[in-house]
Structure 1
Amino acid sequence: MKNIDSSTHVRGESVYLDDIPVIRGTLFGAAFGSPIAHGILKSLDLTAAEAMPGVVRILTYKDVTGENQIGGIVPDEPLLAEHHVHYCGMPIAFILAETDEEAHAAIKKITVDIDPLPVITDPREAQARGDLIVGARTFRLGDVATAWEQCAHVFEGTADTNGQEHLYIETQGAYAVPQENNGIKLYSSTQGPTAVQRAVSRSLGLPMHQIDVDVTRLGGGFGGKEDQANMWAALCALAAHVLKRPVKYALNRIEDMAMTGKRHPYSSDFKIGLDADLTIIAYEATFYQNAGAAADLSPAVLERTLFHCTNSYFIPNVTAIAYCCRTNLPPNTAFRGFGGPQGMFVIEAAIAKAAYSLGIDAAVIQAKNLNQTGDEFPYGQKAESEARACWDKAVTTYKVDMRRSQIADFNAANILYKKGVALMPVCFGISFTNTRMNQARALVHVYTDGSVGVSTGAVEMGQGVNTKMVQVAAQVFSILPERIKIQSTSTYRIANTSPSAASATADLNGRAVQIACTDILNRLKAVAAQELHTDEAAITLKDEWVYVGDQCTDYTWQRLVLAAYGRRISLSEHAHYATPVIHFDPVTGKGHPFAYHVYGTAVVEVTIDCVRGTYETDAVNVVHDFGASMNPLIDRGQIEGGIVQGIGWMTLEEVIYDKAGRLRSNALSTYKVPDIYSVPKEITIEFLQTQTDNLAIFRSKAVGEPPLMYGIGAYFALRNAIRAFNPSATIPFDAPMTPEKVLLALYDTISAPAALPLTNDKIATDLAVNS
């Protein structure tokens, strides 16, 4: 089945925030952000800005009608700065004007006096000073302290990963429209409608039922709109509430990049111990998370890092400690993978260091230690593993041994170009790790003409969740998908929604739709049995016809619906689903937090230009554990997108803040994302066919986040290619592996390149072959 949005997307008819017709009298907002990263706010002069043409009002914290606070997990983030500023771009004032241009022009007329305070951008420095947002978290398994004695080999090191800009095509934004009796209708580009509703309720001092948050779709989210949409929605809602006029604010790209948080940078230490047979006996990791200036979702992201600190491997003795460090950067936030990729990178770095030190390929250690069904994760859950199946199928299907031989031949024959290959196994848990968030509701109406309306808490942001909701309803009712319409996501129709995140959206909301449709279907079957004078157990619906046993009757779907309506049978259902089995105790760090795990293995091959330091990703070949995919077309698209986004994080995308906390990579001229020339030349995806039951909707496992981690393989493939050119190169585990870092590593020592026979003929031959 095609994505139901395909037609309107291609025609430019899909409705996003900026496509909503603007109501007459709408004001346009613009936020004035702090020009420095940390300081005491002494004075704010709005006089010149207020006199600018078109300016109607400028709001500060004094105008907040409720609580000046939007922090969710930790109440540490004011809507508008009061006496201190904690990061560059922290909103201090909100300008309302008749046009967007006039609002932004007024920003330049605001003057502010701030006494600067010390600026911290390094999480290790923050931890050393005790600047933690929450207390340290620790996961333990076995006894690491005594396990080192069993190790024949022990290696230690550090591993750093940088941030990543979400760069959704549609920037953050909201449109607030006052309603009667102090109500607010709020159109928000958010992954979490209820989170926005809750933040606005708090800021305005209104009960949640006064605020209707409505979302048709997003132009991308990737986690960046899970909580960070709250601020912009709350500012617009506050202004609409105070001025009784509609207010719209859609950030421009420069504002969005400067004022919003990114993927969390991490600095980490590791220690790994192996026995003589290369079995990993012990593993220690310490993670220093750069949370930014406020909590946002950082404590939850930190916990997910611990959950995935051993990736696909079983290690009997583990101690993992994580610090949530407060710095003077914009509050970092959710990003596809939600802390899991940062944890996985460190264990892969530890294995790579051990392998290099022992003179073997990392894949030898990886394959030796893959987890098996029944193995225990550090958080207590037992694995139902497909790790070995994915690995073995990848090695066989993609002829890894032969490719290694071919790469060795290529490298021996080429001086200016070198190839590298790496395998990247992935094990990613599916569920919100905050157990109470694993619930969803769906409202289904069957109309008397046989058409069906479905409302859920799922937010469509390009991942195809609405298409899957149509598939669920169509399959349960056995009707044409064309009969079904997915309504916008509204907090008035579906209350208390969990955000569309954690790769759990289709599972949670799809299960709720399934329950609602099944309840209606059972009532329809009872009506059919009465109409046809037969047992209810004999009734089935197939392709819009009613069957008694194997015999098709003259009752169509529509006739049956009308018969039910005539008998005054309810054709509507509001259903609730809560994931069974899962539980987790954050105090003990033990439980069964995930409904299931997604497994996979990627084979990543790269080629480096050893003169320039540039590189290409030749191929990413994947075996992925889909379960039983309900929409292979959408799922393949999600995996391809995730792979490219992961490769971008590991290679090109470099977030740079200076020591003063100012973002230097603040535009697409200074922040590089993968384009058509830098994506892999080849991406192939093989389905792992399994019959294992799981808690996914129709056994179709989640594909949102797990594929991103395949991109980590590109980093280690590049390391292998560098070592093919310069075997003695010192390459710190510091992602992303930009071309500059590649070039420095290629020529890390003078002796390596100087010893190469770089004759003119050889260079000419290499250039001709590889041009």
Structure 2
Amino acid sequence: MRKLPQDFSVDRQRTKKGNLPMHESAVKHVTGQAVYIDDMPEWPNELHVATGKATQAHADIVSINLDKVRAYPGVVDVIVQSDIPGEVDVSPVLSGDLLLAGNFVHYIGQAIFAVAATSLRAAKQAVELAEIVYQTREATLLPQQSLARQEFVLPTHTIQSGDVKSAMASAPHTIRSDMYIKGQEHFYLEGQISVAVPNEDGGVQVFASSQHPAEVQKLVARVLGLPVAQVLVETRRMGGGFGGKESQAAVLGCMAAVLAVRNRCPVKYRMPRQDDMVQTGKRHDFWNAYQVGFNEAGEILAAEYDMVGKCGCTADLSDGVVDRAMFHADNAYYLPNARISGYRGKTHTVSNTAFRGFGGPKGVILAENVIEEIACAVGKDALDVRKLNCYQAGKDTTPYGQKINDDVLPTLIEALEISSDYRARRHAIQAFNKRNAFLKKGLALTPVKFGISFTSKHLNQGGALVHVYTDGSVHISHGGTEMGQGLFTKVAQIVAKAFGIDYQRVNVSATRTDKVPNASPTAASAGTDLNGMAALDAVQTIKTRLCDFAVEHYGIESSDFAISDDLVHLGAETMSFPEFIKLAYMNRVSLSSTGFYKTPKIGYDRKAAKGRPFLYYSNGAAVSEVIVDTLTGEYKVTQVDILHDVGDSINAELDIGQIEGAFVQGMGWLTSEELSWDEKGRITTNSPANYKIPTSADVPEKFTVRLFERANSEESIYRSKAVGEPPLMLGISVWCALKDACASVCNHQYSPPLAAPATPEAVFYSMKAARDYQEARS
């Protein structure tokens, strides 16, 4: 990793809480002591799995001969769909996701059969010997094709507000265009993996790298034909998830479990990177068509958006993904008259799935592109158009009817504009661009308003189990999973603060379905909100018992009882927490409790397309500056300034780390991470050799991250705000800065189209469009 320059500055602010604990596994991560599933010692008789993959995007299977596969040295078992003892459908919500294909296939890479062998090498080599004959059918590969053919995995949904037709017709100016936004590969460092171990009662324990152990448990039980209680799923940590392990990790657990129970031995299913990139879903591609009406000042009067998600061959989580894209098509801007339609396009490609932001980024980039185009049309700085249209007093209701109850956005944008010296830098860039024919700079300040809550109401619940042992140590289990984001650390902090004890006393265990049942996925940036509140509920129950005991035992008032700084205050008497806990135990006080939380106030009426899908919004803004070579399209991000709203931060160190990582991942999505398929539906970016994620060399030399610390107006856990997903969309500021640089070629008289991702080739062609426009006008 290159050494960062001296002027690399990250404002790692300390809060009033004093020194903050580091990530609970930080030392283990850097020393190699953290145990991931593939680090676990293998059982002596463990088998390994590989699957035979479809080579056609849409076809009937005419015949299949697996004799050579079965005969290959090391192969122990081969299964097809008919060998699955229970149900074959492993869909997370609806139906259609099959563990193994039957008589037809819907995408290249779909699993047709599975092999269990004594080594992964033997399994991988054996699957290549299958003889399969197909009868091909016409394939739909693009969302535009699915719209034209009216092929959808789910019905279309529309949000409307105001009188769009009249407002559009009377608008002084209109823009009509479209944009295609490609998806993104999750590229977690730890790939998809599960290990299944059968037990003596006919059930199974599954070690899963999953964001949703409860769903793995349910689906494993389904494919085995067992009660859910006979399946135990455990997740200690993941080496990254980003949504890719929310629904699709279950397939590996199910496959391993079927083969484990069938062969009465442990089975590991670990996807090699290339299989993972071929067989698992990505961030959805979107094709967005839009028409916007606005006045001479650049104020939006009417907007019509058609948003078509490339969902793949089944629904997976696409309904929620497209909904969230629609909910964020306004981003930070008031749309008085709007129609937003979301289409769930069916394509014969792998089913796309959750990815950090869950559809939100595809709506936000549409909103920001519209602002850039309006700014060019009215001849104003894009920031002024953003501030004009920003949600504020009198312009505070979203198209779906939720009211914006605070003024964070205008205040935050203004603060970042000042702290980043935006206006002076804009003038300097204008002067630079006039002087230089072959180098152009671009600058953009873009905000984000991101709704926090699952849009499926039933998922907004969390559970926890807290034990206090007689030595004063505390053990907590909760339904959230740790994928590097620091959830376990924050929940431990919450428990320590709630008890009034030292953080070091608190231990957080692996996530297990026998400790907290029916848990929601760790997703939607709701992990701390849900599980932290559930843990707090459990602690409060135990503290109430301790208080009641103290009142009875010492004859004091309840107001005389308190725990702080690891000491128990009993009126005039004080004792250590361990001493008091031991005393409580000797007096038969229960020192264990479950906790539960359900998010209040939320609800969305789908039929009316109105309601409150989110408890609150997390906000942020970023200023990005780029420099571009007009001859090649190559560019560099030279400076980034971020101000992000985290409410009253529980752990500023973790929050800043999440903001940094999310921004770089968002920047990667819109600059270098280009997913490509060929004309047959085969993914061509299927390995690290041809898919480029950001590296340390792509991190801006000047990178400043500051927290906008204002307590959440809603009663979230300690008035904090979610931080995992919202900052990803701050990476859109890089894309907008590149678009600004391209428009500078024609003095911002025209907003040239820019592909997403904006690779150097895309930037080159955008600048060429700007030059062609200028030449045509001259």
TM-score where L is the length of structure 1: 0.96
Deviation at 1:110, TM superposition (A): 1.2
What count of residue pairs does the alignment treat as equivalent? 753
- The aligned counterpart of 1:376 is 397
Aligned-partner residue type, residue 380 of structure 1: G
Q: 1:283 aligns with which of 300, 303, 308?
A: 303
- The aligned counterpart of 2:191 is 171
Q: Which moved more, 1:684-693 or 1:660-669?
A: 684-693
- The aligned counterpart of 1:675 is 695
For the structure 1 residues 373 and 224, does the alpha-carbon distance in structure 2 shift closer, same or farther, using more than 3 Å as the test?
farther
Tell me how far apart the structure 2 counterparts of residues 433 and 440 of structure 1 sit (CA, whole Å): 15
Deviation at 1:691, TM superposition (A): 4.1
1:738 aligns to 2:759 (yes or no): yes
1:717 partner SS: helix
Q: 2:439 aligns with which of 417, 420, 428?
A: 417
Please show how residues 606-625 of structure 1 align to structure 2 within 5 Å: 606-625=626-645
Please show how residues 51-200 of structure 1 align to structure 2 within 5 Å: 51-200=71-220
Tell me how far apart the structure 2 counterparts of residues 10 and 648 of structure 1 sit (CA, whole Å): 24
Give the conservation status (yes or no) of the 8 Å contact 2:313–2:350: yes
* Cα deviations by residue, 1:47-79 (Å, 9 ceiling, x for unpaired): 111111110011100101011101122211111
Q: Which moved more, 1:406-415 or 1:96-105?
A: 406-415
Please show how residues 349-428 of structure 1 align to structure 2 within 5 Å: 349-372=369-392, 375-385=396-406, 386-428=408-450
- The aligned counterpart of 2:44 is 24
Deviation at 1:381, TM superposition (A): 1.1
Q: 1:538 aligns with which of 560, 565, 571?
A: 560
Q: 2:329 aligns with which of 309, 314, 318?
A: 309
1:717 aligns to 2:743 (yes or no): no
Deviation at 1:360, TM superposition (A): 2.1
* Cα deviations by residue, 1:678-737 (Å, 9 ceiling, x for unpaired): 122222122223245223211110000000000111111101112223447773242111
Tell me how far apart the structure 2 counterparts of residues 510 and 491 of structure 1 sit (CA, whole Å): 18
Tell me how far apart the structure 1 counterparts of residues 484 and 384 of structure 2 sit (CA, whole Å): 38
For the structure 1 residues 201 and 692, does the alpha-carbon distance in structure 2 shift closer, same or farther, using more than 3 Å as the test?
closer
Q: 1:655 aligns with which of 675, 687, 698?
A: 675
Deviation at 1:239, TM superposition (A): 0.8
Tell me how far apart the structure 2 counterparts of residues 364 and 429 of structure 1 sit (CA, whole Å): 24
Aligned-partner residue type, residue 718 of structure 1: L
For the structure 1 residues 382 and 730, does the alpha-carbon distance in structure 2 shift closer, same or farther, using more than 3 Å as the test?
closer
Please show how residues 210-229 of structure 1 align to structure 2 within 5 Å: 210-229=230-249
Tell me how far apart the structure 2 counterparts of residues 61 and 5 of structure 1 sit (CA, whole Å): 40
* Cα deviations by residue, 1:310-356 (Å, 9 ceiling, x for unpaired): 00111111100011011011100000000001011112112222221
- The aligned counterpart of 2:531 is 509
% of aligned pairs identical? 38
Aligned-partner residue type, residue 478 of structure 2: T
Aligned-partner residue type, residue 535 of structure 1: E
Q: Which moved more, 1:694-703 or 1:638-647?
A: 694-703
Deviation at 1:379, TM superposition (A): 1.5
- The aligned counterpart of 2:473 is 451
1:690 aligns to 2:710 (yes or no): yes
Q: 1:465 aligns with which of 458, 468, 487?
A: 487
Tell me how far apart the structure 1 counterparts of residues 770 and 364 of structure 2 sit (CA, whole Å): 30
- The aligned counterpart of 1:43 is 63
Tell me how far apart the structure 2 counterparts of residues 10 and 330 of structure 1 sit (CA, whole Å): 35
Aligned-partner residue type, residue 615 of structure 1: Y
- The aligned counterpart of 1:340 is 360
- The aligned counterpart of 2:547 is 525
Unaligned runs of 5+ in 2: 1-20
Aligned-partner residue type, residue 419 of structure 1: K
Tell me how far apart the structure 1 counterparts of residues 726 and 74 of structure 2 sit (CA, whole Å): 48
Tell me how far apart the structure 1 counterparts of residues 483 and 328 of structure 2 sit (CA, whole Å): 26
1:180 partner SS: coil
TM-score where L is the length of structure 2: 0.95
Please show how residues 637-652 of structure 1 align to structure 2 within 5 Å: 637-652=657-672
- The aligned counterpart of 1:590 is 610
Give the conservation status (yes or no) of the 8 Å contact 2:377–2:750: no
Unaligned runs of 5+ in 1: 756-771
Q: 1:490 aligns with which of 505, 512, 516?
A: 512
- The aligned counterpart of 1:761 is none
Q: Which moved more, 1:414-423 or 1:33-42?
A: 414-423
Deviation at 1:531, TM superposition (A): 3.4
Give the conservation status (yes or no) of the 8 Å contact 1:457–1:509: yes
CA RMSD after TM alignment: 1.6
- The aligned counterpart of 2:497 is 475
Please show how residues 573-588 of structure 1 align to structure 2 within 5 Å: 573-588=593-608
Deviation at 1:749, TM superposition (A): 6.7
Give the conservation status (yes or no) of the 8 Å contact 1:372–1:384: no
1:181 partner SS: coil
Give the conservation status (yes or no) of the 8 Å contact 1:502–1:705: yes
Question: Runs of 4 or more off by more than 6 Å in structure 1?
Answer: 749-755
Give the conservation status (yes or no) of the 8 Å contact 2:188–2:242: yes
Tell me how far apart the structure 2 counterparts of residues 752 and 505 of structure 1 sit (CA, whole Å): 49
Give the conservation status (yes or no) of the 8 Å contact 2:649–2:709: no
2:755 partner SS: strand
Please show how residues 204-243 of structure 1 align to structure 2 within 5 Å: 204-243=224-263
Aligned-partner residue type, residue 634 of structure 2: T
Give the conservation status (yes or no) of the 8 Å contact 1:268–1:285: yes
Give the conservation status (yes or no) of the 8 Å contact 2:461–2:596: yes
Deviation at 1:133, TM superposition (A): 0.6
Q: Which moved more, 1:373-382 or 1:184-193?
A: 373-382
* Cα deviations by residue, 1:94-132 (Å, 9 ceiling, x for unpaired): 100011111111011112111111121111111221211
Deviation at 1:277, TM superposition (A): 3.5
* Cα deviations by residue, 1:650-669 (Å, 9 ceiling, x for unpaired): 11110001110001111111
Tell me how far apart the structure 1 counterparts of residues 180 and 661 of structure 2 sit (CA, whole Å): 24
1:734 partner SS: coil
Q: 1:560 aligns with which of 580, 590, 603?
A: 580
Aligned-partner residue type, residue 189 of structure 1: S
1:245 aligns to 2:265 (yes or no): yes
Deviation at 1:548, TM superposition (A): 3.9
Give the conservation status (yes or no) of the 8 Å contact 1:602–1:623: yes
Give the conservation status (yes or no) of the 8 Å contact 1:373–1:384: no
Q: Which moved more, 1:266-275 or 1:219-228?
A: 266-275
Q: Which moved more, 1:610-619 or 1:462-471?
A: 610-619
Tell me how far apart the structure 2 counterparts of residues 353 and 571 of structure 1 sit (CA, whole Å): 61
1:432 aligns to 2:454 (yes or no): yes
Deviation at 1:189, TM superposition (A): 0.7
Aligned-partner residue type, residue 763 of structure 2: V
1:619 partner SS: strand
Tell me how far apart the structure 2 counterparts of residues 141 and 729 of structure 1 sit (CA, whole Å): 30
2:698 partner SS: coil
Deviation at 1:410, TM superposition (A): 2.1
Deviation at 1:450, TM superposition (A): 0.7
Tell me how far apart the structure 2 counterparts of residues 267 and 380 of structure 1 sit (CA, whole Å): 25
* Cα deviations by residue, 1:515-554 (Å, 9 ceiling, x for unpaired): 10111112112222333321112111111111245x5x34
